[in-house]
């Protein structure tokens, strides 16, 4: 190891030694297991040789045997990244649709429903065509998995273009008319535009941007700037007890193109496991397609009193 790399590793390890002191806390407050769904937005992000942040995340998830969900932008999928999508599916991850791009698609920008529908369809076309050109078996696996969607920037409501009540109007909209034979793709889609724990996003909220791996781990576990962390969902109410959300399964928002997230991911997984996390890929079993699943920005809801979950 080069001296510069050693010093960086030593500094990071020292910071994480402080984080490691949470183990006792976890043992007291998280008896039993609870479901966790790691999700990664805005990728894939690799170089032509397939090195890059997304590959680093996939390597960590494989080493830790953790399934996750990747919400992909259509414009981010380069022609050389077929093997990355194939690997996601082969490693047990889910692939979701994150529209064609981030900009102009957030709830605060009020894009029209036909425009959102068009972007969903062309992103779906991109995912399918890249998989087909790379591995037919992987395409079949993708087509067999439940279809997943996350709106850029998030939302507290079901995205209107996925509401069956709007399908008839969409079929006659100019934006969608060239794709009317693919409108059936909008049926049976799980809308995960919400999440419970926000792991950092400098696009939609400049307050949320941890600058080091240690800060990222702290942010995920403890929360920050008014956003709850995992521990908030494990210690809800007075006396503290596990929240309804934790029992149902916590969805954690991350970004695989963020180097800080990549560096923090092994410790995030370790800390979650100390608290009893069992990792899964979306969808959650209780959720239903074409309906609202989870929102964003809500505080934990204390579960029913239970002596086994309360702390002394």
% of the chain exceeding 70 in pLDDT: 85
Contact present, 50 and 81 (Cβ < 8 Å): yes
pLDDT > 60? residue 307? no
Select from 3.40.50.300, 3.40.50.2000, 3.90.1200.10, 3.20.20.370 the CATH code of 34-279.
Answer: 3.20.20.370
Taking only the tens place, the pLDDT of each residue in 47-90 is 999 999 999 999 999 999 999 999 999 999 999 999 999 999 99
Cis amide prior to 121 (ω within 30 degrees): no
Between the CA of residue 178 and those of 54, 75, 126, 188, 250, what are the distances in Å? 33, 19, 16, 21, 38
Nearest to 8 by CA among 256, 214, 209: 214
For residue 83, the tally of other CB atoms under 10 A from its CB is 16
How would you label 272-291 residue by residue, b for 16+ Cβ within 10 Å and e otherwise? Answer: bbbbbbebbbbbbeebebbe
Lowest mean pLDDT among 133-142, 159-168, 208-217: 208-217
Q: What band does 3 get if pLDDT is binned at 50, 70 and 90? A: very low
For residue 121, the tally of other CB atoms under 10 A from its CB is 24
Look at residue 207 in the predicted model and tell me its pLDDT: 57
Q: Which residues pair with 35 in a beta bridge?
A: 278
The pTM of the full predicted model, rounded to 2 decimals, is: 0.88
**Residues 54, 258: Cα–Cα separation, whole Å:** 9
């Amino acid at each position: 190891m080069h001296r510069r790399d050693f010093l960086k590793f030593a500094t990071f390890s020292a910071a994480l030694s402080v984080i490691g002191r949470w183990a006792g806390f976890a043992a007291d407050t998280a008896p039993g297991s609870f479901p966790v769904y790691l999700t990664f937005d805005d990728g894939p992000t690799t170089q032509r040789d397939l090195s890059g942040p997304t590959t680093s995340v996939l390597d960590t998830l494989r080493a830790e045997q953790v399934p996750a969900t990747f919400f992909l932008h259509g414009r981010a999928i380069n022609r050389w990244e077929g093997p990355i999508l194939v690997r996601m599916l082969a490693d047990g991850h889910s692939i979701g649709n994150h529209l064609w791009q981030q900009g102009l698609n957030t709830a605060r920008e009020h894009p029209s429903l036909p425009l959102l529908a068009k972007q969903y369809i062309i992103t779906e076309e991109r995912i399918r065509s890249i998989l087909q050109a790379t591995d037919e078996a992987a395409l079949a696996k993708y087509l067999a998995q439940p279809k997943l969607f996350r709106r850029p920037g998030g939302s507290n409501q079901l995205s209107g273009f996925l509401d069956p009540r709007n399908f008839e109007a969409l079929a006659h909209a100019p934006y969608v008319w060239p794709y009317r034979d693919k409108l059936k793709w909008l049926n049976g889609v799980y809308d995960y535009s919400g999440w419970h724990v926000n792991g950092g996003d400098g696009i939609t909220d400049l307050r949320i941007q941890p600058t080091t791996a240690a800060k990222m781990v702290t942010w995920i576990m403890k929360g920050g700037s008014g956003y709850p962390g995992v521990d908030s969902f494990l210690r809800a109410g007075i006396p503290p007890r596990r929240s309804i959300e934790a029992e149902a399964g916590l969805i954690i928002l991350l970004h695989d193109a963020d180097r800080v997230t990549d560096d923090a991911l092994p410790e995030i997984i370790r800390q979650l496991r100390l608290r009893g996390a069992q990792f899964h890929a979306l969808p959650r079993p209780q959720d239903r397609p074409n309906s609202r699943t989870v929102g964003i920005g809500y505080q934990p809801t204390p579960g029913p009193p239970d002596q086994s979950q309360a702390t002394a």
